[in-house]
Structure 1
Amino acid sequence: MQEIFWESDKILRESHRKDDPIIAIPCLIRLLYSTGLRITEAISLRNMDVDLKRNILKVGTWNGTKNGEERLVPICNTLKENLQRFIYYRSMLPIKGISDGERPFFIKLNGTAVSSQNAYRWFKKIYTKCGIAYRGERFGPRVHDLRHTMATHSLAKLIREGVDIYAALPLLSACLGHKSLHATEGYVRLTCNEYPELLEKCSSLNNFIYPQKK
């Protein structure tokens, strides 16, 4: 992920077209990884949905939530700094009303909203420069995989810090906007496969979720 962040910061040199999202992409990628938002939720954020005073993102039906439910997503200090930096550079664009509450938060150089296609195209450019091969439409990497990466990294961090996994799952589920814990349970196995050293700590819950056949 650190290499992806570094390469995303370099894309300012890639293009000078007015319909490119070059100042938004580095911040957008960090937001997707930090919060686990779906790409449709992230690109639908309005200025009024980004509350840097309370360090939260307001995600609701207007953001294209999958389950049609509103939720508040916390912003960590590092992400806050990146959001503030993006807002600073965005304010330099000669576009009237760029900071109005109803306006899209992530915009291209011409002031129009960043689209999913923009995000996918530039993300592919970035991970290719990191030496990550594209394996096909069904296998990615995809922008949505940043959500999966956030979930496994967060769960692994909570487990390492000694948080009871029964308590960690509901926290992760709420942050991801899952309607039930069932949608979040798959990350237990994914996390244990990715970090075998955590397998012993996960085993009791893993056996509960995926009982062995007798």
Structure 2
Amino acid sequence: MLEDTGERVIPERMKITNGLLLEHLARYHFASDYVSGRVLDFASGSGYGSHIIAKMCKKKVTEVIGIDIDKAALDYAKKTYYHPLTTYHEGDVTDPQLPDELGQFDSIMSFETIEHVKQEKQFLSNIYNMLKPNGTLILSTPFGEGRGVPCGSPFHVHQLTVPEFKALFGEYASTEFYFQKGVLIEPDSSFNTNKHYPLGIVVCKK
């Protein structure tokens, strides 16, 4: 049975007013403007996000692959979020063999993943190697006190600062940064210094 850890998003078990649910849904709806072709949902969890993309983007997406390390989550996704464009597979986002096993993608999404990963460089290297030339990455993370500093969540290795987050994507041809608070996602250009933005999103073009 899929365990509810308090951090995992399982829409069927949550109220429609749940802030965690709403902000996660908002990111996938945001990503729907950027994805096309063969899509990877890296750390796909219970599968609702892969399903949103397959349903919303069926005219421009050829395949959606969800990868997660949690077999129970994958089993739940397969039963709850079937779509003919979508498949779910077990895998570790830091496995160096993944690029050879999965091939390349036109679009990669990874939401609220990097803060869980100790092998950050391998994770980012896998993403880069699995993204086709001119492909698009959409990735998000919560902000905190910085790399190596313990944070309030027992599930997170740490939470990056805004400058640390922005420094991760220098190898890409272009990057656009966004800030999220609840369902509101604003571009970096409209950053309001008087407002606290707990989450960041980057859209990268290889």
Q: Same fold (TM over 0.5)?
A: no
Relative contact order higher in (CA < 8 Å, ≥ 6 apart): 1
Structure with a larger share of its residues in strand: 2
Larger gyration radius, structure 1 or structure 2: 1
- Structure with bigger helix share is 1
